[in-house]
Amino acid sequence: MHVVITGANRGVGRAMAEACRARGDRVTGTARDGSCDIVLDVTDPASVAALADRLNGTAVDLLVCNAGVLLDRNETLEDGYAPDLWARTFAVNVTGVFHTVQALLPCLRAAGGAKVAIISSQMGSSQRAKGSSLIYRASKAAATNLGCNLATLLRDDGIAVGSYHPGWVRTDMGGSSADIAPDEAAAGLIARFDALSLATSGCFETWDGRAHPF
């Protein structure tokens, strides 16, 4: 199985790449910093196009859209959340997901029965609104919504799409006091990807298999 993972240079992305390789999958990992198989900046159309050119229609059985940023952790309502933070966050967490899927459509179609996994977050759930990190929360809500719509659009191609909350993970983003280690999150997520099918396409699930409220 050929797996493409964006943002595979650290945290959960790297753990997923290592776990997939360990079980024998062919993995193409991407990162902005050049530390993975392919350099990819999901905010740069030319970089996304270069990824598609590099793969050149090679079948991709699973695309994991993992690249993401959290830039507004300490912003305040009174004087924070500058327009640039909104633009940069959505460029990675939403637009970047869409353009990556769009660019790799020939690869996904070539696989027959391919899957797209979008790493979202419970912070994007409307039922878990806590009034902090407004930009990140809005971007993850949009990413989950995008997953639902892509599931509808890609059904006739036999491509299943799911969105997933990876858990509160001990990474640079999650912090050292988070609940689970990256390898635990990765193992759970990969199990979810394996279970994804057209019957469950459009789902929003946690890393450990529970349906998550939108």
**What is the per-residue pLDDT for 66?**
98
**What is the per-residue pLDDT for 173?**
67
**What is the per-residue pLDDT for 176?**
66
Separation of alpha carbons 201 and 52, rounded Å:
24
Separation of alpha carbons 3 and 111, rounded Å:
11
Pick the CATH number of 2-206 from 3.40.50.720, 3.40.1160.10, 3.30.565.10, 2.60.120.650: 3.40.50.720
Question: Where are the chain's structural domains?
Answer: 2-206
- Which residues are designated catalytic? 136
DSSP, collapsed to helix, strand or coil, labels residue 26 as: strand
Nearest partner of 8 among 44, 32, 42, 43, judged by Cα: 32
β-pairing, 62-65 vs 38-39, is: unpaired
* Three-state secondary structure string covering 74-142: CCCCCCCCCHHHHHHHHHHHHHHHHHHHHHCHHHHHHHCCCEEEEECCHHHCHHHCCCCCHHHHHHHHH
**What is the per-residue pLDDT for 178?**
63
**What is the per-residue pLDDT for 171?**
72
Digitized pLDDT (tens) for each residue of the chain, 214 residues in all: 999 999 999 999 999 999 999 999 999 999 999 999 999 999 999 999 999 999 999 999 999 999 999 999 999 999 999 999 999 999 999 999 999 999 999 999 999 999 999 999 999 999 888 899 999 999 999 999 999 999 999 999 999 999 999 987 877 666 667 688 999 999 999 999 999 999 999 999 999 999 999 9
